[in-house]
Amino acid sequence: MKCSRNSRLLRRPRPKQDESLVGYIIRLTENNYCPNINWILRMSGLKRRGIHANVFSPNTDDLSRLSLLSETEENILWSMAFPLVYPSDNPAFNTVKVFSNIVSTYALNKNFIQLCPICLQVEPYYRRIWDLSCLTACPIHQCLLINRCPQCHQPIIWSRPSILKCKCQYDWRDFRPQPVGFEQVTLSAYMYKLCQIRGDFSGISQNLSDSNPVGKLSLSQLITLLESLTKFFKIPIIRRGLLSYTASFYSSTVTSDRYYDRVFILLTDWPNNLLMFIKDYEFYLKKYYHSQYILHPTEVDMLDFFREILTCLTLNNYPFFTKVIEDYFWDSLRRMSLKNVQISFFKNSQFYSICGSLRKGKSFFEKLINKFDLKGLTLSRLLTDSKINIYDETIFFKMSYWSCLRFSSTDELLQSIQ
Ligand SMILES: [Zn+2]
Ligand SMILES: [Zn+2]
């Protein structure tokens, strides 16, 4: 059968509620025996798709012709896309609307797509939630999503000829994914809840405890937090720590090569899992580096650990998270039998060196900020911009003149903006 030359396609299946727009266009392509997806895109007056195929721009993409071709209302087509919200000159800073939340495009997979073979067996269409990079498993079928073809091992890309088949003709519905334990689908089940996608989750809890502050985050806040933390876990030794710590939570040996589900474990049973993970890392450093575990010339020592994790969180505000890290930091200094903290800095070209008791570590630091009007000085700044030394039961932070200058000029800049 040939494609229709009239204004409507010969076959016009209705879109599914949670289908992605580009997945639907592939389905229209297949149903109408069109040679490839570009054929329908051309007929619809739509440009070729980029790496984020389901991102459509309300300024440049007009879906009215596709609406006529498919006999589907334009607003329904838009609800299936991820509309571009703030286009930027740098595509890395683009934001898109995803399940009513504004997120950066980094929240979406690029270059490949992922799918659940069993969901495709149940109903052959592409679920748009699969485009979220934080999603690693299908909570309905308790299996990992696949992003490579099990036969040819090539990444599954959005511009595939069929919703169900790879270029190598393998039908993904034939693949039997190994089941994983409920621990590994906790994050995915929770994401389905935040995206308001219903399904039978076979008794997997979609809730976090009432007292867990993570449960109060919106979808975009949770995605940003997970993305910030995965940057921290890119550090090889820290990642090894995460793998070893979370292994005890998994009942199955099947594992995802991405780490979102593992990072999410640290956010459950708040803050106990996170604290246990930090303690484990501290224990590991102590075992190998003894007294140098806090400040080691080559390894990611404990001070590096705090610096890196706080830096990853700097751009986004998660007070409940930074509080746990900061409290642990001051506690760990006390546990080292240190008694004092001395912070040296420049303010208005004058040099100050202030000493305080570590017993009051955090409150001393906060008082110092208020007294000298050091707005913007955070613990991560102190750790990043200081030369650190430990002797005579005292930890010294010496902030360089240049970092303080940068610090005050940022302040002035902020004040001039406000
Ligand atoms: Zn599934
Ligand atoms: Zn293949």
Alpha helices in 45-144 (DSSP H): 64-70, 74-80, 117-122
Query: From residue 245, how far is each of 85, 190, 211, 248, 401 by CA, in Å?
Result: 39, 22, 23, 6, 40
Give the sign of the dihedral formed by CA 212, CA 216, CA 221, CA 222.
Answer: positive
Where in the sequence is the domain holding 46, given as residue range(s)? 21-98
Q: Please check whether residues 132 and 243 belong to one and the same domain.
A: yes
**Residues 306, 383: contact at Cβ < 8 Å?**
yes
Judged by its nearest atom, the ligand closest to the C-alpha of residue 157 is 2
Q: How far apart are alpha carbons 360 and 363 in whole angstroms?
A: 5
Q: Report the 10 Å Cβ neighbour count for 354.
A: 14
User: How many angstroms separate the alpha carbon of residue 110 from the centre of ligand 1?
Assistant: 21
Q: Please check whether residues 124 and 258 belong to one and the same domain.
A: yes
Res 413: pLDDT: 43
Res 212: pLDDT: 95
* Sheet containing 95-98, strands listed edge to edge, beginning at the edge strand earlier in sequence: 55-56, 82-86, 95-98, 101-104
Q: Please check whether residues 86 and 168 belong to one and the same domain.
A: no
Q: Please check whether residues 59 and 135 belong to one and the same domain.
A: no
Query: From residue 170, how far is each of 70, 144, 150, 298 by CA, in Å?
Result: 28, 19, 8, 49
Chain position carrying tokens 């913007």 = 376
**Residues 27, 36: contact at Cβ < 8 Å?**
no
- Domain end call among 248, 267, 286: 267
User: How many angstroms separate the alpha carbon of residue 138 from the centre of ligand 1?
Assistant: 5
The string of pLDDT tens digits covering residues 339-354 is: 999 999 988 888 999 9
Res 2: pLDDT: 47
Listed in sequence order, the residues at least 6 apart from 336 whose beta carbon sits closer than 8 Å to its beta carbon are: 294
288 located within any domain: no
Q: Please check whether residues 381 and 349 belong to one and the same domain.
A: yes
Q: Is 285 helix (H, G, I), strand (E, B) or coil?
A: helix
Judged by its nearest atom, the ligand closest to the C-alpha of residue 122 is 1
Amino acid 225 reads L
Amino acid 160 reads R
184 located within any domain: yes
Res 86: pLDDT: 83
The string of pLDDT tens digits covering residues 139-168 is: 999 999 999 999 999 999 988 889 999 999
Q: Please check whether residues 175 and 238 belong to one and the same domain.
A: yes
**Residues 114, 147: contact at Cβ < 8 Å?**
yes
Res 406: pLDDT: 65
Res 206: pLDDT: 84
286 located within any domain: no
Res 20: pLDDT: 97
Q: Please check whether residues 137 and 188 belong to one and the same domain.
A: yes
Strand partners, 397: 343, 388
Q: Please check whether residues 349 and 386 belong to one and the same domain.
A: yes
- Total residues found in the chain within this entry: 418
Q: Please check whether residues 201 and 137 belong to one and the same domain.
A: yes
Q: Which two tokens stand for residue 292?
A: 């140098």
User: How many angstroms separate the alpha carbon of residue 54 from the centre of ligand 2?
Assistant: 22
278 located within any domain: no
Res 258: pLDDT: 80
DSSP string of 195-234, one letter each residue: TT-----TT------TT-GGGG--HHHHHHHHHHHHHHTT
User: How many angstroms separate the alpha carbon of residue 203 from the centre of ligand 1?
Assistant: 15
Q: Please check whether residues 141 and 93 belong to one and the same domain.
A: no
Q: Please check whether residues 223 and 150 belong to one and the same domain.
A: yes
Strands 55-56 and 82-86, by their bridges, are: parallel
Q: Please check whether residues 80 and 194 belong to one and the same domain.
A: no
Judged by its nearest atom, the ligand closest to the C-alpha of residue 160 is 2
User: How many angstroms separate the alpha carbon of residue 172 from the centre of ligand 1?
Assistant: 12
Structurally, the chain folds into a number of domains equal to 3
Res 226: pLDDT: 95
Spell out, as residue ranges, where the chain has pLDDT lower than 50.
Answer: 1-2, 410-418
Judged by its nearest atom, the ligand closest to the C-alpha of residue 162 is 2
292 located within any domain: no
User: How many angstroms separate the alpha carbon of residue 194 from the centre of ligand 1?
Assistant: 17
216 located within any domain: yes
Judged by its nearest atom, the ligand closest to the C-alpha of residue 156 is 2
Peptide bond into 271 cis (omega under 30): yes
Under DSSP, the state recorded for 394 is: E
46 located within any domain: yes
279 located within any domain: no
Measure the CA angle with vertex 234, ends 231 and 238; round to 5°.
Answer: 110
Give, to the nearest 10 degrees, the angle between helix 219-232 and helix 302-314: 150
- Domain end call among 252, 267, 282: 267
